[in-house]
Amino acid sequence: MRRILVLAAMLVLALALSAQAAQRLTYASFFPPTHVQSKLAKQWCAEVEKRTDGEVAVDYFPGGTLVKAAQTFDGVVHGMADVGFSVLAYSRGRFPVMAAVDLPLGYPSGEAATEVANAVYDEFQPKAFDQVKVMYFHAHGPGLLHTKGGKVDELADMKGLKLRATGNSARLVEALGGTPVAMSMPDSYQAIQKGVVDGGMYPVETNKGWNMAEVVDYMTESHPVAYTTTFFVVMNKARWQSISEKNRQAIEAINREWADKHATAWDESDAEGMEFFKAQGGEVVPLKAGQAETWKAAAEPMLENYVREADSKGVDGRAVLEFTRKSLTEAKGE
């Protein structure tokens, strides 16, 4: 009996030592825990632990509880979080190469946008990411125009509209003749409901994810100028280098799979957002004949402005823009 007790104690000690030996990482995300993108991030953590046989464990902190959205990239650089998931546009001007991805190029899906984002990074390897280890990028489906009270089916209808928009979507609203009003998504619902703004530019999934379909009436099929938003997942470089080569390879394989999973989730969320929008009585409004080229022409100055801004930061903006367009054409299968 004594021998059995000794063996049991040794086993418990061995397991304890094994648990202590596991590298524990922290993962920060601003998405709430109930959001599908947040759930995928948590699943990534579990998959890392599984495929590294418990040698690498990741503790997940959603909802901005560890690092706020706008500070996530720097938080990872400085070790406040080992892994971070946020939006490139929250650090405006810092990522001139990747900023091309968010332009209104006519994205048809999250899958296509995600493919383009990762292709642009792989092609140009931007120096802006030298301080971190990039895990992967993903991007949402087409950002479209939503309005309350009046439908928009031609460019002239944009004049005088006040629309919730931020970053590139704000620039797009302005280029199309509307007035952008910057505000957070949680504030947008009440602002549209009370008539403070006439609608907003946002991806279709937002209709359900943020219940926006309850306060808007129309969704314009503004696909010719549909934009996206690029999300990043990065790791602290020193922490990445501290992981064994075997486990780094395992994580790289997970990263490739999870970029696709996020893209699929964005598109599934768009489908749910569309269904919810229609269930609330929303009307999908096609552009009038000939308007597609008119809207694209109105947005073109944004693309030229990107080229100038990128050039001013030492980036060949024209080369990046043309590669991004080419990648999107390939992602569309055209």
pLDDT at 83 over 60: yes
* Structure letter (DSSP) for residue 145: E
Is the confidence at residue 59, as pLDDT, over 50? yes
Cα 273 off chain centre by: 17
Q: Whose CA is closest to 234, among 246, 249, 251?
A: 251
- CA diameter of the chain: 88
pTM of the model: 0.89
Q: Which residue type does 229 have?
A: T
Q: Which of 118, 144, 141, 125 is nearest to 36 (CA)?
A: 141
Domains of the chain: 23-140+228-271 (3.40.190.170), 143-227+280-332 (3.40.190.170)
Rounded mean pLDDT, 317-324? 98
pLDDT above 70 coverage of the chain, percent: 94
Coarse DSSP helix, strand, coil percentages of the chain, rounded to the nearest 5 percent: 55, 15, 30
Look at 21-25, 109-113, 143-147 and tell me which has the smallest mean pLDDT: 21-25
In this structure, are residues 63 and 31 in contact, taking their beta carbons and an 8 Å threshold?
Answer: yes
pLDDT digits (tens, 9 = 90+) for 222-236: 999 999 999 999 999
Q: Angle of helix 291-312 relative to helix 317-332, nearest 10 degrees?
A: 140
DSSP at 62: -
